[in-house]
Structure 1
Amino acid sequence: EMKMHYTKIWFGLFAILGSLGGRDCRPASGSLEAMQLGDFMLGGLFPVHQSFKIINTTSSPIQHLSLLPVPSDRFTVSRLIQSLAMIEAVEAINKPPMLKDLTFGYKIMDTCSDVTTALQHTDIFMDKNSGRTNSLFQAVIGEYHSEVSIAVARYLTMGYMPQISYGSTAGVLSDKTRFPTFKRTVPKDDHQAKAITEILRYHNWTWIGIIATDGDYGRYAADQLEAHANSKNIYVSYRVVLPDFLNDESLDSKLNETIKKIESTSKVQVIVSFAKSHHMACLFEKLTPNASGRFWIAGDSWSTSLDVLNNRSLNEVGKILGIIPFSGDSSHFIRYLDNLDLNPDSQSNNTILQHFIKGELNKSRTTKEIRETLKKAVCPSAVFSVGLTVSFVANAVKDICSRKTCRGGFDIQRSELNDALASTMFTMANEKYSFSNYGDLDTGYDINIWEAALENNAEGIKNVGLRTVARYMIKNESIRVISRCSSSCPPGFRRVFSEDKPICCYECAKCPVNTFSNKTDAGECIDCPKNFWSKENSTICSPQTPIFLSWKNEYCITILVFACLGLLLTLIVTLVFLVKHDTPVVLAAGGPISILILLSLLGTFTSAILFGGKPTCIQCQIGQVLFGLSFTLCISCILVRYFKVLLAFQNESAAKRVMKKLFLPYWIIGICVLIQGIICGLWLWLKPPKVLEDSVIRSELIIQCDEGSLLFFGLMLAFISLLALVCFGFAFLGRKLPKCYNEEKCISISMLIYIISWVVFCPIYANMVQLIKYKSTVQMVVMLFSAYGILICHFMPKCYIILLKSENNTKEFFKSGIREFTRRFRKSSRGLTDSKKFVFNYAKFSCQYNPV
């Protein structure tokens, strides 16, 4: 069995050599590789060089060209570290062997970051010239770049060979219908785009630039980032796509265009780059002072490639934040580097490392310095993801060999290994790892900040190191960078957007009066709540000062004094009339009806008082209705009383006899009050008076009674005015009555006071805009004028006679007045018969004293 085992190893070696020698075109003849034989062979694809040259190996144009890398200026130490990580992982598995006496081997090849070169190497791993259905190689580890992995995956799918990438993050590779054998140990770009979007949103960077290379990785990552960013109201000012190949003739002009774009967009301080590391190195070399100092967010394609700075210092370039897949413990790999033999002659089986060592020695660097350079280029996440690829294959093979006898790679079918990889789960450092149904491994992301170390004066360069600050999100780092299309609108302002610009580009407009905003970048100003107000550009609303006819107000106090005085005078007059109820003056004034008039005046004065203080709906309704009913009662009593006097002194006629029969004084008074009551009832039912809160001055809230319905308010006043006009007409007709019964002047003056007061009141009341808080005051004054007009004109002269001119308050005085009126009437009468009848009426009336 042991003999057969070694025979298979030698057979595999001959198969590899045969595949190399049997090709007309030898693309790998000048390429770098590392190889170690084992029972189970792994192919490795690493872009150690970033470009290649096409060299004609013969003068004959018929013969093919050979592709050679350019090691002098395109060698990537970080990719060399990843290849060494694969070697270290294989050696770790072999050291105590997981598969008893069986070992793993590898063949690592440099793809030069080129699809064609990678496919030519993949052809070796497929071993298609051997004619076998299986191969010495069980799986392919790599490639790093997504566009290369896509091409390799398409090729490997034809032979159903497993491929595990340690760096390809393009989302399209998760499509198992197109890439059934592809798996990876890093998250896909969609997760990276989400992580970057969260960083942008957290720091409020809403106006960014994007730089990407024209490959599957760059295009997909940029598309995903823009989509996720737009959903968070983060927008892209510019997006530059650089040619994918460094030897592209348009690369230089595109880099210059990028520099000009950065210079012309000073507000874009944050740039997200999904370009390759050497593209970024070329870009940083061309940075001008106006394009420097930006904040760079590095995609995982160059987030750990410190050599992109080249001869630039970190301070010149700006700040760099790197997004890298989550890493595990890399201390074992550091120990591996510490024990690595750096003698180039000892690395004949690893021409990649040999080439690097020779290049460093040619620069007169010591072995210690070379080792430090290697250790400095270690990225834990890169080492971790490469180690995971080897661990997955090893555990899958172990699972297969636990169910059957394995003597080497030829005993395992490719489909068998694919199925085993899909179901493999293992634990490492207390973490469980397994592929998803899409062949992905979501390990999450680390966020690294590049920071400058102390200056090395001897070498004249600045060293840069990586510091892991968080998983997924930076919260505690003091990053003072503003990348916004428009500055933040402070509280008191709102954002005003333009239709032709992204929503992150806006103007700041002050919040108008009675609105406010209390946060930065408010989209709309908030209306102040009811009974609150604010000035322009306010951050808060202040309570409005309630303004009403307070009892402490000087106007209200003055009106209250006059109203109370009116009440007092009315009560005094009522008392006088009650005490002297049987005297001729009281009887001539109407007797009981005069008491009704005085009681109605009490209601009028009271209604005026109800409009003072802070109003309520009940108070407003009672005040308006009480005035309407009480003053209607007052005017109707005056009308009835004086109409009776006129009727008594009229000549006998058929019309007079009819009017005497129809004249029912208390019925007339009741009907007038009833009509006014119907008007007020409909008013209260349909649209009653209410409390109105209005603001003429922003800081004031005017609280006063509102009529509710101007129609019913006008009808109420119009009905009273109609009664007043009738009274005025009766006064004109009775201007020649006996002096003791003639109240023409009193009635005329009091009715004129009422009519003029309310005629003047209506336009003033309706047009009080600036002085709206005095509307109630005006109505109260007019009410008092009306009441005082009747009280003074009708009752003050009678009280004067009762109290001070008692000699005029006798029957004889009234009879003498009637006789005098009769004498004058006889002289002016035209016929004796009519004169006798009229004198008879006077005599009859003079015996009654009470006109009612």
Structure 2
Amino acid sequence: LMMGWITIILFILLAETKSENQTCKVIGQTGFMEFSKDGDLIIGGVFSLSGTRKIEDNGYQALELKFARTVIFTVEEINRDSKLLPGMTLGYRLYNGCGSENLVRAAVEAVNGEEQSCKSRIQALLGHSSSGVSEDINTILGPLSIPQLYPTFFRTVPSDRFQIIALLKLMEYFDWRWVGIIHSPSMYATQATTEFIKEAKKEGICVEYMKSFSRSSTTSDSITTAEIIRSSSSKVVLLFMSLSYTKAFLKIMEGRNITGKQWLGSESWITQTDLASATRKSILQGAMGFAIPEASIPGLAEFLLNLKPSDEPESAMIRAFWEDVFHCSFTPSNTSAMCNGTEDLRTISNDYTDMTEFRAVNNVYKAVYAVAHALHALLQCRNASNPTTGKQCVNMKDIQPKQDGDKVLFDENGDTVAQYDLVNWQMREDGSVEIVSIGEYDSSSSEGKNFKLNDITKIIWGGNHVEIPRSVCREPCPPGTRKAINKRKPICCFDCFECPEGTISNQTNAPECLICPPEFWPNDRKDQCLPKPTEYLSYKEIMGALLTIFCCLGVFLSLLTSIIFLVHKETPIVKANNSELSFLLLFSLKLCFLCSLTFIGRPSDWSCMLRHTAFGITFVLCISCVLGKTIVVLMAFRATLPGSNVMKWFGPPQQRLSVLAFTLVQVVICILWLTINPPFPNRNMNYYKEKIILECALGSAIGFWAVLGYIGLLALMCFILAFLARKLPDSFNEAKFITFSMLIFCAVWITFIPAYVSSPGKFTVAVEIFAILASSFGLLICIFVPKCYIMIFKPEQNSKKHMMVSKTVFKE
């Protein structure tokens, strides 16, 4: 993978040591060495110090010169350290090459040493700042390896695998699940993008588009790329390119009206402020990315800026560099001023003189120290053995290249610990750019703690967003819905479906909806199961209150009628209509009205048993009285016939006995019902899904219908007898009124049956109460109201004379 200029690679050489007498001839171009210093141990380095062997006005070469000078500074600093490699000095051989071919040749020259001697003179080679070039060099040198324990390829810049993981952590933190990728066509960028997509899938992050950009792209291709970015729904764009490709891309994207995007950059360009221009600020404002951590290297800035051509009198490259940056010449010229070699680099602004940050050069600094510590450990000797390797002690003359492979600061893959700064592009009012560190990533920390973000309020967001941009293909499914994968779309473009009736989801992106327990029901949002409301006929609701009022009214009218009858008990109309049965009937009507109240209120064990049995017994008592009165009327007129003696068979004792007998039958039915399978309170959750009906279950349906059937049988008998006696004189009998009352009674209860069966919940109870009240009011009104009317408003008709006249008319 090619990561651009920031990757510093450390090689532990693979060449075998040749004998003193063995010579060979180096084929091809030589003379790449630019800087050198003798020492007991030698470190080599390969850098692209110039283009085509002559310095050009190119910031890339200026930066490479800074790398090379950093090696020199670090070697001198190590030589001043009495504790590191004591008694020995480090030297260096730094080679200049440009282009992959010359860089490989320079590396071979570094390994071979002097032109006519194949004896290796360096113990380690600092590779090129590009990973791709360094891997090419490693491929060439690899077959020279002496089989040993340690690897031969190390790097002080973390593998791009760590950068990919860090970018995914960043996207997860801000919940950016829908991103676009623009990458260069190089193998580095292509492989890195492929690795990113692979890891992104594991974390549930999807790529909307992946577009390759080439510096040789046509205008049509550039327009297509810009249109893809502009029209995409993803708000986050990952630009995975080297610095040179990034410059070309941004130049082409200028004026393409690409706004509203949050750009993420690879660490190859994310700290390069020279990318900013007036036309690019709208694109790069708020850009984020991971960069090599900032470092402080005391004395390095002064060392780099104090460079003079006299420091390297043998270096033609330094002279060319000096002439180029100061626009002068060391030889007489008609076009340029003469260089005196004392010019101050602090007056120049380029990549070499930029001392604002040491992110990249710090890796060169660490690479030299890694070699020094490896050599130091290898040369340790205690009790005739090396405490690091456990083998026999060696001296510096016996050091073989691959023996230097101590894994100081590297893992089993040759990678150093990954540490990054998360940086944010922030444009100042004066047009300059400030790269602000807003977080960090450290692969050595435990999972969940390796990514840290500083004060989020200090972040400038891309795309003119004032808050964290949202970049998702589909917003998360809220509670109350379930998440369903759409096979025709990326996994991030899922569907959300509302939970079916009776189910909930109480979390975001719930894969399934949960069924509520039987006694619970979802709320309106379907994100919580709430206890089902219970329903029963209550005194507090309008229907229950109205029925209660009618019950009380019925009791009051029955009581009032009883008082009227009691006041007029000695009048002919009361005596003629069997006052004893009339008072008993009025008493039973009061009980009928009162038993309706047991149907109102929360069902309980006692109320369920009482309501049906009280109703059944009081109504039988009531109908028995009416039946008795009807029989009395019939017997009374049979007794007026000559020779008839029927009244002695149905006098007051027989009337009481008949009422008692009819009622005892119902009592027995109720006792059997309560004994075998009585009514009980029940929570009916089947009729309504969303609420519970508190009802009185019948227990034994046979018992219930036996009670109703017996009442209906007595009512039918009473109706038939009253119907037969309907033409008797009005003043002497009440058969006509009993007929009407029984007609109403039977009509009500016949209608009650289908209404009772089909009515839901509390309406079932209301129907039953209505039937009780309607039939009770029917009996009260039809039987007693006409008599009360005569006693109060027509007292002249309440006389024995009037009764006798009616009787005479009847006889004629």
1:177-228 deviations in Å (ceiling 9; x for gaps)? 9x93223333333332232122223333332222334456434432343344
**Does residue 478 of structure 1 match 2:459?**
yes
For structure 1, the 5+ residue unaligned runs are 1-11, 54-67, 163-175, 425-433, 456-461, 825-852
Q: Which amino acid aligns with 2:42?
A: M
1:603-639 deviations in Å (ceiling 9; x for gaps)? 3212333455677787577545543443344335534
Q: Which amino acid aligns with 2:112?
A: D
Q: 2:623 aligns with which of 635, 639, 642?
A: 635
Whether the aligned pair in 1 keeps the contact of 2:555 and 2:590 (CA below 8 Å) is yes
SS in 2 for 1:754: helix
**Does residue 416 of structure 1 match 2:396?**
no
After superposition, where does 1:747-786 map in structure 2 within 5 Å? 747-759=738-750, 779-786=768-775
After superposition, where does 1:126-165 map in structure 2 within 5 Å? 126-127=111-112, 135-160=120-145
> 2:304 corresponds to which residue?
337
What's the offset of the Cα at 1:286? 0.9
Find the aligned partners of 2:628 and 2:22 in 1 and give their Cα distance: 136
**Does residue 276 of structure 1 match 2:242?**
yes
Q: 2:225 aligns with which of 245, 253, 259?
A: 259
What's the offset of the Cα at 1:688? 4.7
Find the aligned partners of 1:692 and 1:565 in 2 and give their Cα distance: 36
Q: Which amino acid aligns with 1:794?
A: I
What's the offset of the Cα at 1:787? 1.2
Relative to structure 1, is the Cα distance of residues 563 and 491 closer, same or farther in structure 2, using a 3 angstrom cutoff?
Answer: same
> 1:727 corresponds to which residue?
718
Find the aligned partners of 1:158 and 1:33 in 2 and give their Cα distance: 27
What's the offset of the Cα at 1:91? 1.8
Relative to structure 1, is the Cα distance of residues 132 and 618 closer, same or farther in structure 2, using a 3 angstrom cutoff?
Answer: farther
Q: 2:253 aligns with which of 270, 281, 287?
A: 287
> 1:44 corresponds to which residue?
45
SS in 2 for 1:101: coil
> 2:90 corresponds to which residue?
104
Relative to structure 1, is the Cα distance of residues 231 and 147 closer, same or farther in structure 2, using a 3 angstrom cutoff?
Answer: same
Find the aligned partners of 2:54 and 2:676 in 1 and give their Cα distance: 103
Q: Which amino acid aligns with 1:267?
A: S
Find the aligned partners of 1:740 and 1:623 in 2 and give their Cα distance: 38
**What TM-score do the two structures reach when normalised by structure 2?**
0.72
**Does residue 359 of structure 1 match 2:330?**
no
1:38-94 deviations in Å (ceiling 9; x for gaps)? 221222244567xx88xxxxxxxxxxxxxx799455834444433332222222111
Relative to structure 1, is the Cα distance of residues 399 and 369 closer, same or farther in structure 2, using a 3 angstrom cutoff?
Answer: same
Whether the aligned pair in 2 keeps the contact of 1:284 and 1:309 (CA below 8 Å) is no
SS in 2 for 1:286: helix
What's the offset of the Cα at 1:309? 4.7
> 1:392 corresponds to which residue?
370
Find the aligned partners of 1:463 and 1:19 in 2 and give their Cα distance: 60
Relative to structure 1, is the Cα distance of residues 577 and 372 closer, same or farther in structure 2, using a 3 angstrom cutoff?
Answer: same
Whether the aligned pair in 1 keeps the contact of 2:616 and 2:666 (CA below 8 Å) is no
Percent identity of equivalent pairs:
26
Find the aligned partners of 1:723 and 1:76 in 2 and give their Cα distance: 119
What's the offset of the Cα at 1:35? 3.1
Find the aligned partners of 1:276 and 1:719 in 2 and give their Cα distance: 99
Find the aligned partners of 2:242 and 2:744 in 1 and give their Cα distance: 98
SS in 1 for 2:287: strand
> 1:430 corresponds to which residue?
none
After superposition, where does 1:46-195 map in structure 2 within 5 Å? 46=47, 71=56, 75-97=60-82, 98-110=84-96, 112=98, 114=100, 116-127=101-112, 135-160=120-145, 180-195=151-166
**What TM-score do the two structures reach when normalised by structure 1?**
0.69
What's the offset of the Cα at 1:323? 0.6
1:737-758 deviations in Å (ceiling 9; x for gaps)? 6868744323222222223334
Find the aligned partners of 1:401 and 1:299 in 2 and give their Cα distance: 40
For structure 2, the 5+ residue unaligned runs are 1-14, 329-335, 337-342, 385-392, 442-451
Relative to structure 1, is the Cα distance of residues 407 and 732 closer, same or farther in structure 2, using a 3 angstrom cutoff?
Answer: closer
Relative to structure 1, is the Cα distance of residues 802 and 291 closer, same or farther in structure 2, using a 3 angstrom cutoff?
Answer: closer
1:418-461 deviations in Å (ceiling 9; x for gaps)? 2xx22x4xxxxxxxxx3334433324211122344575xxxxxx
Q: 1:298 aligns with which of 265, 268, 275?
A: 265
Relative to structure 1, is the Cα distance of residues 207 and 635 closer, same or farther in structure 2, using a 3 angstrom cutoff?
Answer: same
Q: 1:323 aligns with which of 276, 290, 307?
A: 290
SS in 2 for 1:135: coil
Relative to structure 1, is the Cα distance of residues 688 and 640 closer, same or farther in structure 2, using a 3 angstrom cutoff?
Answer: farther
Whether the aligned pair in 2 keeps the contact of 1:611 and 1:623 (CA below 8 Å) is yes
> 1:450 corresponds to which residue?
425
Q: 1:671 aligns with which of 665, 673, 676?
A: 665
Relative to structure 1, is the Cα distance of residues 70 and 352 closer, same or farther in structure 2, using a 3 angstrom cutoff?
Answer: closer
What's the offset of the Cα at 1:540? 11
Q: 1:501 aligns with which of 486, 489, 499?
A: 489
More helix per residue: 1
> 2:777 corresponds to which residue?
788
1:477-530 deviations in Å (ceiling 9; x for gaps)? 333443525586899997987553335447899999999999999999999996
Q: Which amino acid aligns with 1:608?
A: S
Q: Which amino acid aligns with 1:102?
A: M
> 1:35 corresponds to which residue?
36
**Does residue 569 of structure 1 match 2:557?**
yes
Find the aligned partners of 1:140 and 1:715 in 2 and give their Cα distance: 108
1:717-769 deviations in Å (ceiling 9; x for gaps)? 56544443332223223436686874432322222222333455666677789
What's the offset of the Cα at 1:283? 0.9
Q: Which amino acid aligns with 2:89?
A: T
Whether the aligned pair in 2 keeps the contact of 1:292 and 1:318 (CA below 8 Å) is no
Whether the aligned pair in 1 keeps the contact of 2:178 and 2:205 (CA below 8 Å) is yes
Whether the aligned pair in 2 keeps the contact of 1:632 and 1:676 (CA below 8 Å) is no
What's the offset of the Cα at 1:280? 0.8
Q: Which amino acid aligns with 2:457?
A: N
> 1:168 corresponds to which residue?
none
> 2:361 corresponds to which residue?
383
Whether the aligned pair in 1 keeps the contact of 2:572 and 2:798 (CA below 8 Å) is yes
SS in 2 for 1:272: strand
1:560-612 deviations in Å (ceiling 9; x for gaps)? 34322321333455678899999998898678766664444333212333455
